[in-house]
Amino acid sequence: MRATIMYCAGDVRVENVPDATIVNPTDALVRVTRACICGSDLWPYKDLAPTEKGRRMGHEAVGVVEAVGKQVQKVKKGDFVMMPFAFSDGECAFCHEGLQTSCVHGGFFGFSEGVGGAQAEAIRIPFADGTLFVLPVREDHALLASLLTLSDVMGTGHHAAVAARVAPGKKVAVVGDGAVGLCGVIAAKRLGAEQIILLGRHPTRIALAKEFGATDIVKERGDEAIEQVRKITGGFGAHSVLESVGTEQSMLTAVNIARPGGAIGRVGVPHYPKAPAWEPTFYKNITISGGPAPVRAYVQELLPDVLEGRIQPGCVFDRVIGIDEVPDGYRAMDKREAIKVMVKP
C-alpha cells in the first residue's frame, strides 16, 4: 500500500510499504476514506533530524473497517469510523474519565512504535473498541469533511475553548489563525461567547473566521496586538484565550491579553521548555490549562452539531489531494498557501 514517510525536515515521501494488517486481537484494520495534514505535522517538517527508517505520518482519518481482531466486540467489518489522533483502550481510569490521551495503554498515531500513520491507504488501529467511534452515516456522506475534523482539529479547538473556560457572555481571544484556531472560533461561538477576537492577518483565514463567528480581527503584532485586544475588550483583556500555536511568543501574547482571573486554553504543542512571564501570570491569577485534546470524549457532544449543520468545521479544508501529492500538501501548508489539506487516498 502507499503510505507517507518523513525522513527529515522538508523530506516527505509517499512510498510502497507492506500492507497494514491485524497484529493484536484487539486491532482493527481501517481503509482510509479521508485523511489530512495537521498543523502539528509542520513541526517535524521544520525540524525533524535525519532518520534512516523514517517516521510514518498522519493521525487524522475517517475510514471503513476492513477487518477486526478476535477480541474486538463493538466495532465490526464495514463500519464507517472516525479515528482520533490518539489510540486508547477504552477501559482504564483515564478513558473512563474522558481523558483518553492519557490512556495507560494508549499512544499517538505516527509516534508510537509499530503503529502506522493515517496519510496512507490503510492503517492498523490498536484497541479498536476503545479508539474508534462508529459514525452513524455512510462513507459517501456530504459532510465527510466536517466529520473528518472530529478526529483532531475540531475536537482540539473545542478542547482549547473548554480549557479556557469559554461560556456565555465571555470575551474570547484566539491566538493563531491556523485550522485549530479557526475551529477554536467555532467552539467559542458554539459555547456562547459574547465577543470572539481572532489574532491574524491572512485574508482568507480572516474571512473564514468571520464566517465561523469571529466578531473582531486584530491584525497587529506584538505589543500593538496586546494594546488593541485590551482596547476592544474594555481595557482588561479577554476572559478566555485560546493558544493554538505553541511558541513562546504566542504564549507570551496569550498571557498579556488575558484578563486578570481569566484562563488560557493551550493546544499548540509547546516548542519551548519553560513558560514565560510566570510572575505576571501569578499576579493576574491566570489559569493555564489544556494539552492533547481527548477528541474521543468530545465526539458525542460535537457530532450532532456537525450532522445537523450547525457547525461546519470542514470548511477549514481548502485543498484536496491524492495520496501521491502529499509532499506537495506539506509544502502548501508550510508556505501558508493552504489552511488545511485533505487527503483522498
Q: Which stretches of the chain bind a second copy, using CB under 8 A?
A: 93-94, 97, 99, 101-102, 163, 236, 260-261, 266, 269-270, 272-276, 278-279, 281-292, 294
In Å, what is the CA distance from 102 to each residue of 10, 171, 242, 270?
A: 30, 30, 21, 17
Give whichever of 288 and 315 is closer to a second copy, judged by the CB atom: 288
The nearest distance, CB 159 to a second copy, in angstroms, is 9
Query: Is residue 293 within 8 Å of 317, Cβ to Cβ?
Result: no
The nearest distance, CB 44 to a second copy, in angstroms, is 15
What's phi and psi for 59, nearest 5 deg? -140, 20
Give whichever of 113 and 282 is closer to a second copy, judged by the CB atom: 282
Residue in the structure block whose three cell numbers are 478566555: 240
Give whichever of 97 and 301 is closer to a second copy, judged by the CB atom: 97
Residue 290's DSSP bridge partners are 266
The nearest distance, CB 101 to a second copy, in angstroms, is 7
Residue 258's DSSP bridge partners are 238
The nearest distance, CB 171 to a second copy, in angstroms, is 12
The nearest distance, CB 311 to a second copy, in angstroms, is 23
Give whichever of 167 and 320 is closer to a second copy, judged by the CB atom: 167
The nearest distance, CB 314 to a second copy, in angstroms, is 26
- Could you give the CA distance from residue 323 to residue 342 in angstroms, rounded to a whole number? 10
Give whichever of 26 and 100 is closer to a second copy, judged by the CB atom: 100
Query: Is residue 198 within 8 Å of 214, Cβ to Cβ?
Result: yes
Residue 93 exposed, middle or buried by CB count within 10 Å (0-12, 13-18, 19+):
exposed
The nearest distance, CB 207 to a second copy, in angstroms, is 31
Give whichever of 73 and 285 is closer to a second copy, judged by the CB atom: 285
Give whichever of 276 and 327 is closer to a second copy, judged by the CB atom: 276
**Cβ contacts of 315-322, under 8 Å, gap ≥ 24:** 315/145, 315/208, 315/211, 315/212, 316/149, 316/153, 316/179, 316/182, 316/183, 316/208, 316/340, 317/36, 317/145, 317/148, 317/341, 317/342, 318/204, 320/344
Give whichever of 214 and 252 is closer to a second copy, judged by the CB atom: 252
- Could you give the CA distance from residue 278 to residue 24 in angstroms, rounded to a whole number? 45
Count CA atoms within 13 Å of residue 22 on its CB side. Answer: 17
Q: Where are the beta strands (DSSP E) in 102-205?
A: 107-108, 122-125, 133-134, 171-175, 195-199
The nearest distance, CB 53 to a second copy, in angstroms, is 24
